[in-house]
Homo-oligomer: A and B are copies of this chain.
Amino acid sequence: MRDVAIIGAYETVHGNLSGRSLRELIIEAGNGAIKDSGIERKEIEALYLGNYAGNEFNNQNQMASFAATLIGLGHLPAFRVEAACASGGIAIRQGFLAVTTGQYDTVIAMGAEKMNTKDPTTTMEIVAKGQDAEIEGGFCVSGPSGFALNAVRHMHEFGTTKEMLATVAEKNYFHGSKNPYAHKRKVIPFKNIMKASMVTTPLGFHDMSLVTDAAAAVIITTLDKAKAICKKPVIIKGSGLGGDYFSLALKSTSTAFPATIRAAEEAFKMAGVKREDINVLECHDCFTITEIINIEDLGFVEKGKGGPFTLDGNTRLGGKLPVNTSGGLKSKGHPIGCTGVGQVVEMTFQLRDQADERQVPNARTALTHVLGGPSATSVVHILQRGYE
């Protein structure tokens, strides 16, 4: 296994980009990452793309070949990976595995999703197919209602409160307000979050992530090559992929996501770093409760302590362990198949000291985490500065 590094990273501005085509987003992200890396296009050997449902959102399937062609790499091996909201994380993992095992020396991993349609209900129907649509969908289990069950149980078992959930939202809005790539660049006062209309008890309007369009890309190569050509390489120290049962009815617990626990175990073991080495992380806050459960499952706090840890300000910029400095899915946005790639772009910015107003001082080691569908797929990456 060879050491692997990121030498180029780019993401488009996130948002409801009704005036921009999927083509434009892919071209901007792909060319942006290549330019950022400083390598020539011909040095790239393969492309991996995370995308959830381009065939339904954009009338376009086989999107990896589509994307490769748009950025002048149509002659390369390319395929799409999909595991709902974890798709982008898997694209990164595929790129990492290809380089670490010696299959290719240099690859591009991309994510793209343009999911705002003319009708928000259509978008939600497409998103809802990321769970057992026939059986559980028929009983009104959806993303919001499914994760609301986790919230209710977490509150019951551990005393997690609505205030703790609102703290996640307020923090991520605050972080996103400092991120020029974020969908919602606006601070929302805590009291407004608390009094927002309820969507599915106990999750209100501000406990939900955004419906967002974006594309992102990173260039991945060997650490040897990275050190030769790049001033600030970012090492991919560890990668983990974990699964869990697709049906809520088969879950072993409602207060943890076993897929995340499995992915984190693999990634930390591979990376050879400890939880306390992580200076900053992006994790999957599809709902506010998800961030609280994630920081527990990733091993940063004891089970049940995620709420109080958040309430105490530890996960805010300036706190002990800043979480979702980009604004997360809550404020940067959640372009499904792009999200996992965008997280790696944000952490690359942090580890290169390029995160401007949201920079975590002396960030040396970072983590990214996505969770797909009914907490059925999780991907964790551990990144580290590759320069002094």
Contacts and interface: CB of A to CB of B under 8 A. Distances in A.
Contact of A84 (B59, B61, B132): B61
Interface stretch (A65-73, A301-309, A361-369): A65-73
Interface stretch (A193-201, A217-225, A240-248, A318-326): A240-248
A65 B373 contact: yes
Contacts of A59: 129, 133-134
B258 A75 contact: yes
Contacts of A245: 69, 74-75
A216 to B, nearest CB: 18
A12 B46 CA distance: 33
Contacts of A241: 46, 77, 79
Interface stretch (A50-58, A172-180, A205-213): A50-58
A83 B74 contact: no
Contact of A82 (B76, B79, B258, B376): B79
Contacts of A86: 79
B68 A246 contact: yes
A47 B242 CA distance: 11
A129 B246 CA distance: 27
Number of copies of this chain that the complex holds: 2
Given A79-B81, A79-B83, A243 B68 contact: yes
Contact of A77 (B79, B81, B243, B246): B243
Contacts of A76: 243
A245 B87 CA distance: 23
A286 to B, nearest CB: 14
A80 interface: yes
A18 interface: no
A131 B241 CA distance: 31
A140 interface: no
A355 interface: no
Contacts of A82: 61-62, 64, 79-82
Contacts of A75: 243-245, 258, 262
B83 A81 contact: no
A78 interface: yes
Interface string A120-160: 00000010011111100000000000000000000000000
Contacts of A384: none
B372 A247 contact: no
A103 interface: yes
A283 to B, nearest CB: 19
A45 to B, nearest CB: 10
A278 B141 CA distance: 51
Given A53-B55, A55-B55, A83-B79, A65 B376 contact: yes
A129 B60 contact: yes
A90 interface: yes
B129 A376 contact: no
A76 B262 CA distance: 9
A126 B53 CA distance: 12
Interface of A: 23, 46-47, 52-53, 55-56, 59-62, 64-66, 68-69, 73-84, 86-87, 90, 97, 101, 103, 126, 129-134, 241-247, 250, 258, 262, 372-373, 376-377
10 contacts: A53-B55, A55-B56, A64-B83, A69-B246, A73-B243, A74-B250, A78-B377, A79-B90, A80-B81, A97-B103
9 A-B pairs with the lowest CB-CB distances in the bound complex, closest first = A74-B245, A65-B376, A69-B246, A62-B84, A61-B129, A101-B101, A77-B241, A79-B83, A65-B246
